[in-house]
Chains A and B, each alone.
Chain A
Amino acid sequence: MPRVIGQPVPRKEARDKVTGQARYVDDLSFPGMLRGVTVRSTCPRARIKKIHFDASIPWDEFVIVTAKDIPGKNCVTLLLEDQPCLADTVINHPEEPVVLLAHADKYLLEEARRAVWIEVEPLPAVLTLEDSLARKEIIWGADNVLKAIHLEKGNVDEVWSQADFIVEGEYETGAQEQLYIEPNGMVAVANPQEGVTVWGSMQCPYYVHRALVPLFGLPENKVRVIQVETGGGFGGKEEYPSMIAAHAALLAWKSGRPVKIVYDRAEDMAATTKRHPSRTRHRTAVSKEGRLLGMEIEFVLDGGAYATLSAVVLSRGTIHAAGPYLCPNVRVRSRAMATNTPPQGAFRGFGAPQSTFALERHLNKVAQAVGLPPEELRRRNFLREGETTATGQVIREKVALADLLARALELSDYHAKLKRFAAENATRQEKKGIGFATFMHGAGFTGSGEKYLASVVGVEATPEGRVRILTASTEIGQGTNTILCQIAAETLGLELERVEMAAPDTAAVPNSGPTVASRTCMIVGKLVESAALALKQTLEGSGFLPRQYSQQEFGEACRRYMEKFGPLRTYSQYQLPPEIQWDEENYKGDAYGAYAWAAYVAEVTVDSLTCEVRVDDFVAVQEVGRVVNPVLAAGQIEGGVAQGIGYALYENVVWQEGRMMNNQMTNYIMPTSMDVPRIRVYFEEIPYARGPAGAKGLGELPLDGTAPAIANAIENATGVAVDRLPVLPEHLLDLLEASRA
């Protein structure tokens, strides 16, 4: 029987991608298709008075849609229904869509977009986290708080008097743009007879489906959403695609013609969601032996103008805020605040990179206070099997963090370099440093999230005797197609070529949940495994499949089954394992089914004259359960580390009056092939009992630990504490000058 799990098989759609044959949304064309554009507000907060259409444009040739053309409910349905699809009376951020235009000629369309003027009565806006917290104006709900979470373990209040040291710190992270290389886009066909069909770049077909149904007031079976090849997502195509699909569909509905909306880079960067800016305050009680006694953490996110996914981003950030350490007394108070900027949203890591940066910087400070090396402080506090996390979750799996850290320090030659750099830096302009972070990332939806998703996966036999996987889980570059086929092939004892993926089309595949939260391999993969097992058992039960079978015999059994009984299709639905208990009210219990654990080491050079930072070496050691495909898994870590390098050093969103001012690749800087070090990736494999073949999730993990490892290395090189991301040269210069003064 062929073994396919653990093999570095090439990705399923690789050939289409390397030949340019893969079809992305902008490659689609329909007869009579129009192009659509969005006219947006330009001020952060205002009342709309009037929309003016300049007389220089022959408007009768254009399709024009405003809020009044929406057949159903004017909102982008997600968690709350606070965000309009098109602003009608009030503007809450400077990129709010107000008018949609369509025309066959994209050049005329651009002229027309500039000829619409939205007359407004400006209202006072809240543009910073501080102003939102201070309630300078109330712009959302009763108090600007999009979501508040209070996590409590033990009794923090009683611990301060017993502490040998109390260490405080404040940490900040900026917004980060996902910067998938394919901008967002959708094509829609829509009319009252056939309903609405959209094709597009997205992570979550059923999220788009759920948003379009109430917008058009259509029954669910009259809305169809099809994901086409998607050029990267990283969370940036989790929620905003619902907005663009709605816009394209509204224009198609009104015009009776297919409409394509593809954002250009500037619009995509300015208008769509980014990683939430954050501010974290730590107060930590620690014994002279370096034991963590109490942690009080205040975690605040800037959510932008609408609620979007801020509540769940805040949740993940909160749960990860105390890290993979044992501490008997923990309090985390978290808030996501509203500001009049475009809503922030999902980005790989989903709140955890922000709170992990704060903690991994802070623990270095704690180690200094206690007088221990940073690795020793962590070693004394790592969570072990049988101990409880900040939410009181008992860790039932072996936690190999101490081993991961030891291996990472050895592979990076940490101790020798520490010594050598300290000796050499004194006489050099280029200061070298080395630093690390240890961290975890929970796989799957938080708490009871997976229970409510109740995801379904199907597996069917094809007339050719092959097996097709039916899921709405999307391939966005991370390897969904390939790993799910590997899991099914392994379960069925088939060659990989005999397993294929159905296109993610809501009319043809069940809802396997969104492609987010490092859940595709662990949660959806497990459902693929059990649906495939059910298919095999059905075939065995029918008597057509012998106990030992060849590839041909399997195909033959499928054909014979289908001749006799019709379609052969089996499904599997997620069931919450009985040991997972979550109390949403009190934030207690099993926050995640499983965690990935990791230790990352970064080596940097800081030019003390220019304050530029270069990452020279990067070692990433992690335990992610069984590795399904080592090439794809390493690719995920390497790509995540590169994004983390960007987050740490280059990627700076410049805000002015609530708008992103550097919304170009020219002045928003992501790592190029010249900027990344050799990224050395190592996996420890401890199979997870409830994962497919023992696998857990790993996609988001690298974003959590990369930036703090780099920041700790910069501190090692320069002696100054870098507590704010990104570490731009000008910020570092200020810190260095302050330290010399």
Chain B
Amino acid sequence: MPEDGRKVTVTCKVNGLERTLRVYPLARLLDVLREELHLTGTKEGCGEGECGACSVLLNGQLANSCLIPALQADKAEIATIEGLASPDCLHEVQQAFIEAGGAQCGICTPGMIVAAVNLLARIPQPTEGEIRFGLAGNLCRCTGYMKIFQAVVRACRRQRERVSA
């Protein structure tokens, strides 16, 4: 098939790897991640920036990848759920979600964890109110959020212990 002239070249760093992509300028970053890069850990829940299942970090900022045109990802650094854990070691937030029961059906979980990591990066010792506000863009229909809050508190305690050790 001939190259579609409407496509543009986008260069970005995804989970630390340099990527050069040919994409439609207004393609959703969510689709680029899932379909071009096969990073399917980022989920689509609503496609309109309400549910946060597609949360990624774009230049360190929490973003709904369903609302980001591919062109905006040019020269950006993107982190997805797949970039958090190394093969044999989970991120503290991931480990805390397992222990506290923060994941039920799991579809909001990648986005929720990305949001929680971002929250702890901004506010290492968040209050309950700050946790609630920090995760307010990520909807969960299973947990009632209680065990998610507990997971964040647990992760934050673990981070503190690691820093002080």
21 residue pairs of the A-B complex, CB under 8 angstroms, read A14-B98, A18-B98, A19-B41, A19-B90, A21-B41, A178-B141, A181-B43, A181-B51, A181-B53, A182-B45, A182-B105, A231-B105, A265-B48, A477-B104, A635-B146, A642-B145, A643-B144, A665-B50, A666-B48, A670-B139, A673-B131
Q: Which residues does chain A contribute within 8 Å of B135, judged by CB atoms?
A: 673
Q: Which A residues, 118 to 154, have Cβ-Cβ distances below 8 Å to chain B?
A: none
Residue of chain B at shortest CB distance from A478:
B104
B144–A182 touching, CB < 8 Å: no
A13–B101 touching, CB < 8 Å: no
In whole Å, how far is A458's beta carbon from the nearest beta carbon of chain B? 25
Assuming A26-B34, A679-B144, what are 12 further A-B pairs, CB within 8 angstroms?
A13-B106, A19-B84, A23-B40, A179-B141, A181-B140, A230-B105, A231-B108, A232-B104, A631-B100, A638-B146, A639-B141, A642-B143
> Which residues on A are within 8 Å of B, measured CB to CB?
8, 10-11, 13-24, 26-27, 178-183, 229-234, 264-265, 476-479, 631-632, 634-635, 638-643, 664-666, 670-674, 676, 678-679
Tell me the bound Cα distance from A302 to B142 in angstroms. 26
A476–B132 touching, CB < 8 Å: no
Which of B40, B51, B53, B109 meets A18, CB within 8 Å? Answer: B109
Residue of chain B at shortest CB distance from A15:
B98
Size bracket of the B interface: 35 or more
Q: B80 in the interface, Cβ–Cβ < 8 Å?
A: yes
Q: Which residues does chain B contribute within 8 Å of A17, judged by CB atoms?
A: 103, 106, 109
B143–A20 touching, CB < 8 Å: no
Q: Which residues does chain A contribute within 8 Å of B94, judged by CB atoms?
A: 18-19
Which of B81, B98, B100, B143 meets A639, CB within 8 Å? Answer: B143
In whole Å, how far is A651's beta carbon from the nearest beta carbon of chain B? 11
**Per-position 1/0 for B129-157, Cβ under 8 A of A:** 00111011011111111111100000000
A10–B51 touching, CB < 8 Å: no
Q: Which residues does chain B contribute within 8 Å of A180, judged by CB atoms?
A: 105, 107, 141
Tell me the bound Cα distance from A634 to B147 in angstroms. 9
A673–B136 touching, CB < 8 Å: yes
Which of A13, A181, A264 meets B107, CB within 8 Å? Answer: A181
Q: Known contacts A13-B106, A19-B82, A231-B107: does B47 contact A632 (CB below 8 Å)?
A: no
Q: Which residues does chain A contribute within 8 Å of B34, judged by CB atoms?
A: 26-27
B42–A20 touching, CB < 8 Å: yes
A639–B104 touching, CB < 8 Å: yes
**Per-position 1/0 for B69-101, Cβ under 8 A of A:** 000000000001110110000100011011111
In whole Å, how far is A88's beta carbon from the nearest beta carbon of chain B? 31
Residue of chain A at shortest CB distance from B128:
A678
In whole Å, how far is A635's beta carbon from the nearest beta carbon of chain B? 5
Decide if the interface of chain A is mainly helix, strand, loop or mixed: loop
Tell me the bound Cα distance from A179 to B139 in angstroms. 10
Tell me the bound Cα distance from A635 to B103 in angstroms. 9
**Per-position 1/0 for B20-56, Cβ under 8 A of A:** 0000000000000010000111111111101101000
Q: Which residues does chain A contribute within 8 Å of B50, judged by CB atoms?
A: 664-666
Q: Which residues does chain A contribute within 8 Å of B108, judged by CB atoms?
A: 181, 231
Q: How many A-B residue pairs have CB under 8 A?
A: 171
A674–B104 touching, CB < 8 Å: no
Which of A26, A264, A670, A678 meets B146, CB within 8 Å? Answer: A678
Q: Which residues does chain A contribute within 8 Å of B146, judged by CB atoms?
A: 634-635, 638, 676, 678-679
Tell me the bound Cα distance from A259 to B33 in angstroms. 21
B101–A631 touching, CB < 8 Å: yes
Which of A10, A22, A181, A664 meets B99, CB within 8 Å? Answer: A10
Residue of chain B at shortest CB distance from A28:
B40
In whole Å, how far is A23's beta carbon from the nearest beta carbon of chain B? 7
B82–A673 touching, CB < 8 Å: no
Tell me the bound Cα distance from A13 to B106 in angstroms. 9
Residue of chain A at shortest CB distance from B100:
A631
Q: Which residues does chain A contribute within 8 Å of B104, judged by CB atoms?
A: 11, 232, 477-479, 635, 639
Give the interface centre of A180, A232, A640, A679 by most chain B CB atoms within 10 Å.
Answer: A232
Q: Known contacts A181-B108, A477-B106, A673-B148: does B45 contact A638 (CB below 8 Å)?
A: no
Q: Which residues does chain A contribute within 8 Å of B105, judged by CB atoms?
A: 180-182, 230-233, 476-477
Tell me the bound Cα distance from A238 to B147 in angstroms. 26
Tell me the bound Cα distance from A631 to B50 in angstroms. 28
In whole Å, how far is A481's beta carbon from the nearest beta carbon of chain B? 11
Tell me the bound Cα distance from A674 to B129 in angstroms. 8
In whole Å, how far is A634's beta carbon from the nearest beta carbon of chain B? 8
Which of A178, A179, A635, A674 meets B147, CB within 8 Å? Answer: A635
Tell me the bound Cα distance from A661 to B156 in angstroms. 42
Q: Which residues does chain B contribute within 8 Å of A231, judged by CB atoms?
A: 43, 105-108
Tell me the bound Cα distance from A21 to B34 in angstroms. 12
Q: B113 in the interface, Cβ–Cβ < 8 Å?
A: yes
Q: Which residues does chain A contribute within 8 Å of B98, judged by CB atoms?
A: 10-11, 14-15, 18
Which of B45, B82, B100, B138 meets A20, CB within 8 Å? Answer: B82
B133–A10 touching, CB < 8 Å: no
Residue of chain B at shortest CB distance from A644:
B144
Tell me the bound Cα distance from A634 to B144 in angstroms. 10
Residue of chain B at shortest CB distance from A18:
B94
Tell me the bound Cα distance from A234 to B141 in angstroms. 9
In whole Å, how far is A114's beta carbon from the nearest beta carbon of chain B? 17
Tell me the bound Cα distance from A233 to B39 in angstroms. 24
Q: Which residues does chain B contribute within 8 Å of A674, judged by CB atoms?
A: 132-133, 136
Q: Which residues does chain A contribute within 8 Å of B46, judged by CB atoms?
A: 265, 664-665
A673–B145 touching, CB < 8 Å: yes
The 5 closest A-B pairs by CB, nearest first: A20-B41, A477-B105, A231-B107, A17-B106, A642-B144
Tell me the bound Cα distance from A11 to B105 in angstroms. 10
Q: Known contacts A17-B106, A18-B103, A181-B53: does B44 contact A26 (CB below 8 Å)?
A: yes
Tell me the bound Cα distance from A232 to B94 in angstroms. 20
Tell me the bound Cα distance from A678 to B145 in angstroms. 9
Residue of chain A at shortest CB distance from B27:
A107
Q: Which residues does chain A contribute within 8 Å of B53, judged by CB atoms?
A: 181
Tell me the bound Cα distance from A16 to B85 in angstroms. 11
B141–A181 touching, CB < 8 Å: yes
Tell me the bound Cα distance from A471 to B51 in angstroms. 32
Tell me the bound Cα distance from A641 to B145 in angstroms. 11
Tell me the bound Cα distance from A378 to B103 in angstroms. 37
Tell me the bound Cα distance from A635 to B101 in angstroms. 7
Q: Which residues does chain B contribute within 8 Å of A182, judged by CB atoms?
A: 43, 45, 105, 107
Tell me the bound Cα distance from A24 to B42 in angstroms. 11
Q: Which residues does chain A contribute within 8 Å of B107, judged by CB atoms?
A: 24, 180-182, 231-232
Give the interface centre of B40, B53, B107, B133 by most chain A CB atoms within 10 Å.
Answer: B107
Residue of chain B at shortest CB distance from A646:
B141
Q: Which residues does chain B contribute within 8 Å of A476, judged by CB atoms?
A: 105
Tell me the bound Cα distance from A354 to B108 in angstroms. 28
Residue of chain A at shortest CB distance from B42:
A20
Q: Which residues does chain A contribute within 8 Å of B42, judged by CB atoms?
A: 20
In whole Å, how far is B96's beta carbon from the nearest beta carbon of chain A? 9
A20–B81 touching, CB < 8 Å: yes
